[in-house]
Structure 1
Amino acid sequence: MNEQRALWVSTSVRTPGGMTTYLQAMQKTPLWSEWNVRHVATHREGSKFTKLAAFVGGSVLFLVEMIRFRPTVVHLHTSARASFGRKAILLWCSSLSGLPTVLHIHGSDFMEYFAESSALTQVLIRATLCRASAVVALGSIWARRLERIAPGARIVEIPNAVPLAASPARLSSTDRPIRFVFLGRIGERKGAFELLRAWACLDAPTATLTMAGDGDVQQARSLVRELHLESSVDLPGWLSPAAVGDLLDNADVLVLPSRREGQPMAVLEAMARGLCVIAGEGGGLPEMIGGGCGLLVTSDDVDGITTALQRVVDDAALRISCGKAAYERARQRYDIDVVWRRLDGLYREVTGNPRSRNPLTWQMQWPPAAAEERVAQG
């Protein structure tokens, strides 16, 4: 058996969402074989009973893997609230047994979760963050916020990652109708309904919008009918990864006017193809597309969203420029071939493997202060 062994714990690979997309992408990298990674699911979608059963069954499997597999590092992927509670239990079990444990924070609601928690719960959250061998933040904005919550925790910045397209797609196509795409759970948090209201005000008779995802799909379809958008808006529901890839390959602009985001995979997948991105200014999005890689909007500002849509329809040069800049940023920061090596370096560092002890081989190298400044100005 490979000497290096990692145990990953997260939601089920059948759970729709960015964490699953990230997990499936990492399974295709050399990290999976070099660290002989095994995966345990402690959550799946369903009723409260289904979720409880998944956690109990996953926890038992986790303990079995700890005894039989004997991992050299445990990597826990969490969001907030119940997800963090589940992973906190497993983190204390693994760390008390002496195993290096990495806690990977994905949730866009984590700061709100901490702020709304009782004083005792905040103490437990802080203690859990400090107990981890390393806490992975998706970017400098999230790293600074986590450091304020738990100054004693070891926070490292490693972003989500996607495979990079060989070259930016469709950037020179300016003589055809513009194709917009929205990807994600359809609902208030993602700004889906504000997008539809903005779309109704857009002066672009030939432009089309495809909104793919689960959630409040029927409510969105009702709003489409109410606003008489049937000829330009399509809501196909949740799509397979292959279908999402085809949709993005033929798109020009990704629109995601979210209120809160960590580091959405949909935006990364669009950037990796060289698409122009219009996104909400909450969470980690300014760090992703700020500085010329896209347009930032306020999620509940329908007029502002309309203006951004109209700008990229009317200004092909702007649309192409944003797409090229987004592709270049994805190449530098979010290319999966770069990010898996950073995880490999982190694992070696926390396990004491002498092959890679220099943290500069894995920690991201862009100025954190600049991202905070962009948020403050926004």
Structure 2
Amino acid sequence: METVENLEAINLLGLNQKNLEDFFVSIEEKPFRAVQVMKWMHQRGISDFSQMTDLSKSLREKLESHCVIRAPEVIYEKTSQDGTRKWVISVGDKDLIEMVLIPEKNRATLCVSSQVGCAVDCSFCATGKQGFSRNLNLDEIIGQVWVAANSFGVPRTPDSRPITNVVMMGMGEPLLNFGPVVDAMNLMMDDNAYGLSKRKVTLSTSGIVPKIDDLGKVTDVALTISLHAPNDELRNKLVPINKKYPIKELIEAVKRYVEGCSDKRVTTIEYILIEDVNDSLELAEELCDLLRQLPCKINLIPFNPFSESEYKKPSGNRVKRFQKFLQDKGYVTTIRSTRGDDIMAACGQLVGQVNDKTRKKERAENKLKIKAKTI
């Protein structure tokens, strides 16, 4: 058995409950210490072991010598005119990620990143234009929740819930970082940590079909599908992963996920509206036909412009016309309010800074230079 003397300093934020229990056993402590430390870390926001007063002095000293509780470094924070808050966080190697907190009357929704950049490269999303560096570790994902919760003040009380909802909709495709994302969501829902209900934790995916099936085997968090088109020809252009997992396979996987949930579950379909691309009433009718057998609601998201895209945001009248058509067909359809666009924190605008190992951004910039020379 490995002893505490030869252990390197370990970041306890990067351990789920099982791993934390194993850690305490490895240093010849009782497994129940894991729950005690989890409550101090996640419920109270404490990172100083000396303040964990229900631990023995000898254990506190042992932890101080060999462990840390360390979230990623916040290097920038800004608040929008509408109250939306954005953090830029360093995760090392010149990689930066972003997370966004959207406050409303009775809730605060945190949009969390799962990767540095994104390899899926949806054509309407600023993140994908940055390329891809790597997956985030558990401490870097749950650390975002920890930072946001602690921004309301430390120590927190165990029954405080400054973050009421978490959406895995930040930078990256969550299902392509499966293990750490699932571990992070489990901590979000753990009563010894953040205590959120499964309906308050949402995973949004572009449609990684095998991983949707895998997800259904380990959890039943709320599932949101980034659809954005009702047919394969258009979706192949907007969401390139569709070429590998076409719409029919995606819808069937979502049905299996919903059927496996213990309650009457309704999936949210996200549909970014882009002027003269996917906002016609003909496409709205196709969308209705496609979703007829799927229990769902539809969330329309007017496109949020960014410098690398030539797409345009449709007028308010076109958005409302699309919504009315869907509502008249019997679909619960909402329009997402644009929040934080003045600080580039709105849906599709998160970019961070990506040490792009795919060189995608470099190739795209070279194409633009070539195009500019020919004009």
TM score, norm. by length of structure 2 = 0.31
Which structure shows the higher helix fraction? 1
Find the structure with the greater CA-based Rg: 2
TM score, norm. by length of structure 1 = 0.30
